[in-house]
Homo-oligomer: A and B are copies of this chain.
Amino acid sequence: MTREKFDGRKRVIIEAASPEVDGGAFPAKRVIGDAVQVEADIFTDGHDVISAVVLHRHDARPDAAWAEERMRPLVNDRWRADFKVEALGFHRFTIEAWIDHFLTWHRDLKKRVDGGASEDELRVQLQIGREQIRAAAMRARARDRRKLEAFIETLDSDDPIPEKLDELRSEDLLALMARNAERRFAARYPCELLIEVDRPKAAYSTWYELFPRSAARQEGKHGTFADVEAQLPRVARMGFDVLYLPPIHPIGVTFRKGKNNRVEAAPDDVGSPWAIGASEGGHKAVHPQLGTIDDFEHLVGAAKTAGIEVAMDIAFQASPDHPYVREHPQWFLMRPDGTIQYAENPPKKYQDIYPFHFESDQWEALWDELRDVFAFWAQKGVRVFRVDNPHTKPLPFWEWCIRDLKREWPDLIFLAEAFTRPKIMYRLAKAGFTQSYTYFAWRQTRQELTDYFEEITRPPVSDLFRPNVWPNTPDILTEQLQFGGRSTFTMRLILAATLSSSYGIYGPAYERFVHQAREHGSEEYLDSEKYEVKYWPPAEDDLTELIVAVNRIRRENIALQQNTTLTFHPTDNENILCFSKTAGENAIVVAANVDPHNTHAGWIDLDLGALGLDTGHPFQAHDLLSGARHTWHGARNYVQLNPQVVPAHIFRIRRRVRTERDFEYFL
């Protein structure tokens, strides 16, 4: 550091601002309407009073003046201010702080008066204050200047000193001086930090997955987009707002996989929708048996009318029949024998799949084309993408691609399907993915669920990573679901829907308790519809009504539409998991039996503070699933959960309020 680079009179230090992701290298994520709570350590040498403000503005208006929020000190030199974000896209903020000589003088003047300062001393002090007010008046514009000059006139008058001191206590004067403060030596935080603001659905969404080709209303038929449209009322009634479809593109025939992922396909096998590309086209085409692009657009529109967004699956890989293979062979890795490198995990070979070669000399053209795939579908009205295996494509690609697309469509939502190591999952989130799949399916004990959700719902992770939890997917039929029976499906759905503000199910299989694995030790479904057309006839006594109830509870309780207030409460039975979420007046407590086989009972020890309750008053726990209402009288409460009946309570906590007329009701 050379002294010439800076003004040594900037004495305030600003450190450790939050939210800050990797020193400002990536934005922190919020949604429209959020209050961004900015904090920093702010201090200086000596005992002078500091003033500090958060400066913020939308990144699209770099020339606009910063808006300012005054920060207030907490404890241990930590300061805080909030600002609300009301527009999509990037918001930028930083912090400015300065020694406030006027406030220092004002504080000390009070101490001097209280300490019995002499009249001579007070006269000198009033002169010092007068000079500061004078300087502020010089900086101020018309109205403020006139008001400040009025104070100066009072100080210059013959009024007795006590009256002048009275005048200086005015809140008006403090506000005027704050607005026109001397900020010549104000220090700035060393960098500007970003907030990326998405629409509310980025934080709160309810997903349903189905295979369009299995949507036919008649056995033995290949489903179409029109068949999917016919399912919309049912999906909407269940309370889902995103309908996710596996890839809808033409499917390759070369090395096509047979039923149950057999290496040899039978002539009538339909193949995996993830083997993308055939003579009919690639990532910008649709599989002819599903319909046309117009039919797809019609589905997107009909879904929107039903309150549902269609999420497309984007899987960046090509079957050997993909037009890219012929048109852009440079985008694939050529082996010395002149063949194209297929996907491998030696000694396993996936000859039906060609990965893209991202170290190609033509990498820029490849990047452009891949981005254009998203753009193509965005132009057709799609705003939600589920990206298949993003962790097998370069992280810098995603950072560029997603940011570039959101510049044009800031309402886009990208869900990362990356079941990989934690640091890679978090980096994908930093690179721009809006939501991410999680390890939820494999977190089953009280301890596992507590540890994992405490990690992903608190900063620093929660500033960048938004979980979307799935009890099952077409690739994941956990051992617990295979052997736990109906109570497991019920319990895991309730946990998914309440632990996380975003969750989803691979619906046709989940509703019907489909639980048979391809073979022992596998998480693959037997006769998976990844490789064949299924027919899902209407079912009775399936999970539908529970799903309807749970999703209604989510809609009616804003506490469940976010994760930041998730709090786990101790219980004396390790099979009973208890947690709560609160938002404003709304408070939800969930008590779940995580053992699907046995009834468990125990005491839960509620953190009443986290629920906004005081210990002195009874409160009502209203079970939103059964309708039962209990009056509770303190932190310790007893629950008993029989998984064969219902493995969990979802309580709404209602505070008892006594009005003036001595009438009790619950809020």
Residues of A participating in the B interface, judged by any CB pair closer than 8 Å: 1, 3, 6, 8-11, 13, 15, 22-23, 25, 41, 43-47, 76-77, 108, 111-112, 114-117, 124, 127-128, 131, 185, 190, 335-337, 344-347, 358-359, 363-364, 367, 391-397, 399-400, 403, 421-424, 427
Partner of A400, one of B3, B44, B397: B3
A13 to B426, CA, bound (A): 12
Contact B396 A10 (CB under 8 A): yes
Query: What B residues does A114 contact at CB under 8 A?
Result: 347
Contact B8 A45 (CB under 8 A): no
Contact B395 A11 (CB under 8 A): yes
Contact A345 B395 (CB under 8 A): no
Partner of A346, one of B44, B115, B393: B115
CB distance from A182 to the nearest CB of B (A): 11
Partner of A76, one of B367, B392, B393, B421: B421
Query: What B residues does A11 contact at CB under 8 A?
Result: 358-359, 394-396
CB distance from A501 to the nearest CB of B (A): 27
Query: What B residues does A346 contact at CB under 8 A?
Result: 108, 111-112, 115
Looking across the interface, which residue of chain B has its beta carbon closest to that of A390?
B45
Looking across the interface, which residue of chain B has its beta carbon closest to that of A403?
B1
Most-contacted residue by chain B among A1, A111, A117, A359 (CB, 10 A): A359
Query: What B residues does A1 contact at CB under 8 A?
Result: 399-400, 403
Contact B394 A45 (CB under 8 A): yes
Contact A124 B358 (CB under 8 A): no
Contact B76 A422 (CB under 8 A): yes
Q: List 23 A-B contacts (CB under 8 A).
A: A1-B403, A3-B364, A3-B400, A6-B396, A8-B367, A8-B396, A9-B359, A13-B427, A43-B421, A43-B424, A44-B394, A44-B395, A45-B394, A45-B395, A46-B391, A76-B423, A108-B346, A112-B346, A117-B347, A124-B335, A128-B336, A131-B336, A185-B359
Query: What B residues does A395 contact at CB under 8 A?
Result: 11, 13, 44-45
A45 to B358, CA, bound (A): 11
A45 to B317, CA, bound (A): 14
Contact A127 B400 (CB under 8 A): no
Contact B347 A115 (CB under 8 A): yes
Contact B423 A41 (CB under 8 A): yes
Query: What B residues does A44 contact at CB under 8 A?
Result: 394-395
Query: What B residues does A337 contact at CB under 8 A?
Result: 124, 127
Contact A400 B76 (CB under 8 A): no
Most-contacted residue by chain B among A112, A117, A424 (CB, 10 A): A424
Contact B9 A112 (CB under 8 A): no
Query: What B residues does A112 contact at CB under 8 A?
Result: 346-347
A115 to B348, CA, bound (A): 9
Most-contacted residue by chain B among A6, A8, A128, A391 (CB, 10 A): A8
Partner of A393, one of B3, B45, B393: B45
